[in-house]
Structures are given as structure tokens and as C-alpha cells.
């Protein structure tokens, strides 16, 4: 057996030395190949575990660093979305400002326009068929600052009951007729109505004060100064209106108090906006408090106690026609009984009607007690209300739409009772009141549509496109960013709800200056809120980026510290390897010399 072979002490010593050198060479070769002097706990337990602790913390921070990077991306996405949101809000602000300019420039005004070329008319009576000497127009104008209250003209008459009249005489040219209209002044001496011929020769009559304008037409010899609307003794003159090119289709109907079945009322009310706004209505059964949606229509009064609802019994109808088309009967529970029909019933009947609902929208302002009916379609030019009386009904005052008929003192020319002429009275009477939306209504409606499109884009941007990895800082989500492995250091970035409703940007209503101003204020406030939020995002982004840099440097420091404990000095290890290789060669030579004594024995044989 090999264990029985005797080896000299010299050989054994040289073999041991050579084996030690080989082991050290292997160790240094491993160190040089790995670059580390300590590769396991066997190499140096203290240094190995100290380095491993530093490396573990660095590894944990690397995971945290990834999360910090994602937080940066979330904040950057929110910042970009918020910047684009501000662009949309700025567009909405621009549209609202355009609406303000439309209102303030006079483009939005109460105006009636004829469709007959009158430019060559030298004698209205002689040249126009259906016009007689003495035919009269009665004008009424509302004060826009007084909730449709009529203005008082320079002759002491107040538009709403009497108004002021202009008649034609034989030989009057169209220029003279226009001059007579333009001479109308209010009690302060200001021109309140302007008439002119447009480029097509059509007669244009407009209110200059921003209020509503009503025109009523009378036959020659009729008492246009009567304190009541036309009766059988003073019928309206449809022919006169049509001769001037003022289309009165759909305006005909039986007259009020005491009228015969053949009497018609040719009149039109042009509003100064895309909507009809009632007086501030009160409930007469509730101590004159502002009317509520449940108030019945026969209990409505103005702040002076004047009746502006409907009265009488059941069995009548209330119809609405658009642009003179066939009238639509409102569904008010089988018949129109003002004693049981409420304001909400009236509003719902318009909004839910299959034909009217897409063209008109009715609403009630709980704060002011006003009924509002507005156009939803640019094609809607006129709206006619038709009341069919039944039995002994005394009709109604149609909520004070257009030009109200509030009470005035007898010193102004008529009594309170005369000022409150009804909409229709008596069995079988039918009366139609026509309202023409003001010039510029189409433009404002287009601006409302554009404004609401921006609102929709704001909602889509915020709700659908602003999120990153399931976090949406613009739609109410918060973001918490942790800066260390044990989650004891963090920053919370609070989100906001920046939908249109969250920003306070409501649907456009550009029918009145106050609602336009409210829209302008809301978008301005929304823009300021968005900018403030952007500043907060920028601050948080700066903090997170700073902590990201700090974390990166901390990881580098930990890894460097670990390396200091475990990395080898390659120069030193290289020198040691060279020395060991030299010693290995010497050991081999020494082993060879020690074996020569064994070789001498072989020579004896």
C-alpha cells in the first residue's frame, strides 16, 4: 500500500511546502478573479457580515429608488395634465369673455326686423296695401335693471299698459315714419327706441337700453291709448304689420276682456336675450314669500302684489308654438287647471315634451323666484304661448315675461287694475303671445355650446387621461412616496378633483350679464386653483427628485463601504501571486534535489 512507502523527511517537507504554496496561489487566483479579498464568512467573518449588512441596505434602497422614480413619473404626468388643463380653462375663459363682449357690444338686443323692402316708399298709406291713415303702433320697453319693469316715456305713459304710440298719416314717407319712432324719449329725455332701414330695405326697430321691446298694431281710429288691450271696439291691425314686413304669423288670437270672437291681437315682444325671464314671483298664499316649485300658478304675484299667474277653473289649454309652427299642447294633467298645476308641473311639461324638449329648456331659480325659458337650438327664433280659456276663466298675465304690466300710479296715466291686463278672459277666448329672441341669441348660443364642449374636454382629460399607473392626482387620488426601506420617511402629494364641477365651472348660461359674469369668475377662480396646484406639484417634485439624488448617493456610499471591507488590492495580490509562483518553482527545484538521493540508489543496480 502507498502508506507503507517510506518518504524521506526532506521530500515530505518539500511536498508540504509545495502544497501550501499551491493553496495560496489558488486563494490569490480566486481573489484576483472575483476582485474581492473576502468572498465568504470563511475568509473573514467580521468583514464579510459587516459588508453584507451594508449591501443589504443598499439593495433595499434600490427597491425604494424604483418607487421614487415612479412617484416622479406620476407627479410629472399630473403636472403635464394640469398644464394642458390650464390651456382648456383659458379657452373657456376666452369664450366667456366673448359672451360678455357680445352682451356689452349691443349685438344682443331686442330687435324686430321686417322682410319687405321699404326703401322706395314715399307714401306709406298710398304705396302699401292694407295701410290706412291713422294706423298705429304702440311701443312698450322694459328696464333691464328692473326685472322687466316698464320704462316711463316722456309723455308720462309707461310701457306695459299704455306705452307710447306712433301713427301714420297720408303722405308720410318711410323716412318720416322712422323719424317719428326715433323721436320717442323716456322720462329722462333719452332716446329709447331706434328705427332704421337695413341694407335690404327692411324696417328694423330695436330697444336701445338693453331691455325687451313690445309692438302692438292698431287699425285707424282705434283707441290705442285705451287702458286695456284691444277689445271688439279697437281690433288689432294684422294688415298694417304685414305691410311693414313684420311677420305676425301665429300672433293672431282673440283679444282680452270683452272681446268678440273675431277680434285679433297683432303684437310681438322681442327679448334682449336667448331666454324668457319672468318677474320675481311670490306665493300669495305664503305671506308673500318667494314662490317655490310647488306653488300653484293661480297664486303667483309680483312684489307689488299684482297677479302674474293664471286664474279660473279647469278645462283650458296652454299651448306652445315655435317659429309659428303647429302649437303643442302642454301635458298638464289632462287640462290646465291653475289651481292644481304647480311651477314644477309647468317646467316638466316643457322639458319632457318630445317636440319641445330639444328646443326649449325651462327652469326655476329657487333664490330669485324667476321662471326661465331658454332656447337650446339656434333655429328657435320665436316662441308663442297660446291660452285657450274655458268657462268663466279670467286668464293670466304669463308670469311677466317680456314687458311686465306692473302697477303704476294714476299720475302716470292709468290705474293699477288697468295695468294688469290679462292674457285671455272668458269662455272660448284664445290669445297668443309671441316672443322673439333677441338679435345675437344665435351667437351666444354657439358660445354656450363651445363653452360646454370645453367643459366636456376638461372632464375627459381629468377622468380618462391624467392618470399614471392607476394614480390620478387630478381626480382626487393622493400619492405617498417613501424614501427609506422601513417607510419611516415619506412625502404625501395631495391630489385634487379638477373635473369641471370640481373646479366650479358650471354649464354655460349666457342669457344674462350676471350669469356671464358668474361664468367668467368661475373660470378665473378655476385657473387660479389649477396654477396653485401646479405650484404645489412643482414643489413636491423638487423634493422627490432631491430625495432621489440623495438615495442614489446613499446607495453608492453603502456599496463603496462594503467594497472597502471586501475588495482586494490587486497590486498587492499580484505581487503575492508572483512571489508564490517563484516560491513554487523553488519548491519544485528543492523537491528535485531532495529526490536525487533516491536516484543514486538506482545506480547500484
In this prediction, residues 137-146 reach a mean pLDDT of 79
- The answer, yes or no, to whether residue 70 has pLDDT greater than 80, is yes
For residue 600, what pLDDT band results from cuts at 50, 70 and 90?
A: low
CA distances 266 to 139, 254, 283, 426, 431, Å, are 13, 10, 32, 19, 10
Q: What is the pLDDT of residue 72?
A: 95
Query: In three state form, how does the secondary structure of 349-366 look?
Result: HHHCCCCCCCCEEEEEEC
Q: Which CATH class is domain 60-105+444-562?
A: mainly alpha
Q: pLDDT higher for 40 or 48?
A: 48
- The answer, yes or no, to whether residue 175 has pLDDT greater than 60, is yes
- The answer, yes or no, to whether residue 418 has pLDDT greater than 50, is no
**Alpha helix ranges (H) inside 320-412:** 343-351
CA-based angle 424:430:436, to the nearest 5?
Answer: 85
Question: pLDDT (tens digit, 9 = 90+) per residue, 546-564?
Answer: 999 998 998 888 888 877 7
Sign of CA dihedral 593, 597, 599, 600: positive
Q: What is the pLDDT of residue 367?
A: 86
- The answer, yes or no, to whether residue 407 has pLDDT greater than 80, is no
**Torsion angle of alpha carbons 373, 377, 381, 386, nearest 10°?**
-50
In this prediction, residues 463-480 reach a mean pLDDT of 94
Q: pLDDT higher for 246 or 200?
A: 200
Q: What is the pLDDT of residue 33?
A: 66
- Asked whether the beta carbons of 561 and 28 are under 8 A apart, the reply is no
Instruction: Count Cα atoms within 13 angstroms, Cβ side, for 311.
Output: 15
Of 194-198, 286-290, 537-541, give the lowest mean pLDDT range. Answer: 286-290
- The answer, yes or no, to whether residue 11 has pLDDT greater than 90, is no
Sign of CA dihedral 397, 401, 402, 405: positive
- % of the chain residues with pLDDT over 90: 29
- In sequence order, the 6+-apart residues with CB closer than 8 A to the CB of 411 are 156
Q: pLDDT higher for 158 or 301?
A: 301
Cell numbers placing 66: 424604483
Most confident of 83-92, 405-414, 442-451: 83-92
- The answer, yes or no, to whether residue 249 has pLDDT greater than 50, is no
- The answer, yes or no, to whether residue 416 has pLDDT greater than 60, is no
Question: pLDDT (tens digit, 9 = 90+) per residue, 290-318?
Answer: 899 999 988 888 777 777 777 666 777 88
Query: In three state form, how does the secondary structure of 144-165 look?
Result: HHHCCEECEECCCCECCCCCEE
CB-CB neighbours of 229 under 10 Å: 24
For residue 148, what pLDDT band results from cuts at 50, 70 and 90?
A: low
Q: What is the pLDDT of residue 494?
A: 96
- The answer, yes or no, to whether residue 421 has pLDDT greater than 50, is no
Distance CA 68, CA 541 (A): 10
- Asked whether the beta carbons of 231 and 258 are under 8 A apart, the reply is yes
- In sequence order, the 6+-apart residues with CB closer than 8 A to the CB of 414 are 157, 158, 161, 162, 227, 408
In this prediction, residues 212-230 reach a mean pLDDT of 65
Q: What is the pLDDT of residue 227?
A: 41
Q: What is the pLDDT of residue 530?
A: 96
Distance CA 270, CA 157 (A): 20
Q: What is the pLDDT of residue 113?
A: 87
Domain boundaries, the chain: 2-35+570-599, 60-105+444-562, 111-273+317-336+381-439
For residue 258, what pLDDT band results from cuts at 50, 70 and 90?
A: very low
Distance CA 522, CA 148 (A): 27
Of 63-77, 180-194, 208-222, 457-471, give the lowest mean pLDDT range. Answer: 208-222
- In sequence order, the 6+-apart residues with CB closer than 8 A to the CB of 456 are 500
Distance CA 463, CA 468 (A): 12
**Torsion angle of alpha carbons 380, 268, 157, 125, nearest 10°?**
140
Of 19-33, 180-194, 211-225, 253-267, give the lowest mean pLDDT range. Answer: 253-267
Q: What is the pLDDT of residue 593?
A: 67
Q: What is the pLDDT of residue 160?
A: 43
Q: pLDDT higher for 141 or 27?
A: 141
Question: pLDDT (tens digit, 9 = 90+) per residue, 422-435?
Answer: 454 455 556 677 78
- In sequence order, the 6+-apart residues with CB closer than 8 A to the CB of 97 are 520
CA distances 197 to 190, 204, 217, Å, are 21, 6, 19
CA-based angle 105:109:114, to the nearest 5?
Answer: 125
Q: What is the pLDDT of residue 6?
A: 62
Q: pLDDT higher for 551 or 145?
A: 551
Most confident of 245-254, 335-344, 568-577: 335-344
- Asked whether the beta carbons of 216 and 138 are under 8 A apart, the reply is yes
Numbers of helices and strands, H then E, in the chain: 10, 22
- The answer, yes or no, to whether residue 79 has pLDDT greater than 50, is yes
Amino acid at each position: 500500500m502507498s502508506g507503507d512507502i517510506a518518504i524521506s523527511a526532506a521530500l515530505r517537507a518539500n511536498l508540504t511546502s509545495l502544497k501550501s504554496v499551491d493553496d495560496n496561489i489558488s486563494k490569490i487566483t480566486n481573489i484576483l478573479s472575483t476582485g474581492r479579498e473576502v468572498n465568504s464568512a470563511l475568509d473573514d467573518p467580521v468583514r464579510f457580515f459587516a459588508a453584507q449588512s451594508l449591501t443589504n441596505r443598499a439593495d433595499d434602497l434600490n427597491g425604494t429608488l424604483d418607487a421614487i422614480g415612479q412617484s416622479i413619473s406620476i407627479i410629472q404626468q399630473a403636472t403635464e395634465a394640469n398644464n394642458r388643463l390650464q390651456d382648456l380653462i383659458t379657452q373657456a375663459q376666452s369664450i366667456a369673455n366673448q359672451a360678455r363682449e357680445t352682451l356689452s357690444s349691443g349685438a344682443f338686443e331686442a330687435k324686430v326686423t321686417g322682410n319687405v323692402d321699404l326703401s322706395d316708399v314715399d307714401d306709406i298709406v298710398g304705396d302699401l296695401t292694407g295701410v290706412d291713415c291713422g294706423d298705429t303702433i304702440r311701443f312698450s320697453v322694459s328696464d333691464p335693471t328692473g326685472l322687466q319693469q316698464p320704462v316711463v316715456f316722456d309723455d308720462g305713459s309707461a310701457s306695459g299698459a299704455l306705452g307710447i304710440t306712433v301713427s301714420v298719416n297720408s303722405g308720410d314717407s318711410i323716412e318720416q315714419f322712422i323719424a317719428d319712432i326715433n323721436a320717442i324719449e323716456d322720462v329722462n329725455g333719452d332716446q329709447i327706441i331706434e328705427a332704421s332701414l337695413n341694407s335690404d330695405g327692411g324696417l328694423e326697430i330695436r330697444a336701445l337700453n338693453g331691455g325687451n321691446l313690445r309692438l302692438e298694431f292698431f287699425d285707424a281710429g282705434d283707441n290705442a291709448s285705451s287702458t286695456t288691450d284691444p277689445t271688439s271696439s279697437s281690433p288689432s291691425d294684422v294688415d298694417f304689420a304685414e305691410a311693414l314686413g313684420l311677420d305676425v304669423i301665429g300672433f293672431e288670437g282673440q283679444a282680452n276682456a270683452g272681446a268678440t270672437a273675431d277680434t285679433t291681437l297683432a303684437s310681438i315682444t322681442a327679448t334682449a336675450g336667448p331666454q324668457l325671464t319672468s318677474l320675481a314671483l311670490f306665493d300669495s298664499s305664503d305671506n308673500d314669500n318667494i314662490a317655490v316649485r310647488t306653488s300653484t300658478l293661480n297664486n303667483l304675484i309680483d312684489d307689488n302684489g299684482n297677479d302674474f299667474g293664471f286664474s279660473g277653473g279647469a278645462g283650458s289649454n296652454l299651448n306652445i308654438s315655435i317659429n309659428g309652427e303647429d302649437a303643442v299642447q302642454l301635458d298638464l294633467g289632462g287640462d290646465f287647471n291653475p289651481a292644481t298645476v304647480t311651477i314644477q308641473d309647468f317646467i316638466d311639461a316643457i322639458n319632457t315634451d318630445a317636440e319641445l324638449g330639444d328646443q326649449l329648456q325651462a327652469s326655476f331659480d329657487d333664490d330669485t323666484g324667476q321662471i326661465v325659458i331658454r332656447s337650446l337650438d339656434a333655429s328657435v327664433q320665436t316662441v308663442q304661448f297660446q291660452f285657450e280659456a274655458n268657462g268663466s276663466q279670467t286668464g293670466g298675465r304669463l308670469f311677466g315675461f317680456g314687458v311686465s304690466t306692473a302697477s303704476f300710479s294714476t299720475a302716470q296715466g292709468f290705474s293699477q287694475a288697468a295695468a294688469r291686463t290679462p292674457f285671455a278672459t272668458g269662455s272660448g277666448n284664445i290669445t297668443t303671445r309671441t316672443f322673439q329672441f333677441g338679435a345675437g341669441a344665435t351667437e351666444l348660443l354657439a358660445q354656450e355650446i363651445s363653452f360646454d364642449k370645453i367643459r366636456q374636454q376638461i372632464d375627459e382629460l381629468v377622468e380618462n387621461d391624467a392618470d399614471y399607473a392607476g394614480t390620478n392626482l387630478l381626480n382626487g387620488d393622493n400619492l405617498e412616496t417613501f424614501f427609506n426601506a422601513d417607510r419611516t420617511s415619506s412625502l404625501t402629494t395631495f391630489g385634487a378633483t379638477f373635473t369641471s364641477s370640481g373646479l366650479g365651472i358650471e354649464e354655460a348660461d349666457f342669457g344674462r350679464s350676471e350669469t356671464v359674469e358668474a361664468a367668467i369668475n368661475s373660470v378665473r377662480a378655476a385657473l387660479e386653483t389649477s396654477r396653485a396646484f401646479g405650484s404645489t406639484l412643482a414643489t413636491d417634485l423638487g423634493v422627490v427628485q432631491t430625495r432621489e439624488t440623495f438615495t442614489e448617493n446613499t446607495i453608492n456610499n453603502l456599496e463603496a463601504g462594503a467594497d472597502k471591507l471586501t475588495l482586494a488590492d490587486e497590486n498587492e495580490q499580484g505581487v503575492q501571486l508572483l512571489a508564490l509562483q517563484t516560491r513554487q518553482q523553488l519548491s519544485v527545484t528543492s523537491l528535485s534535489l531532495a529526490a536525487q538521493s533516491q536516484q543514486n540508489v538506482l545506480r547500484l543496480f
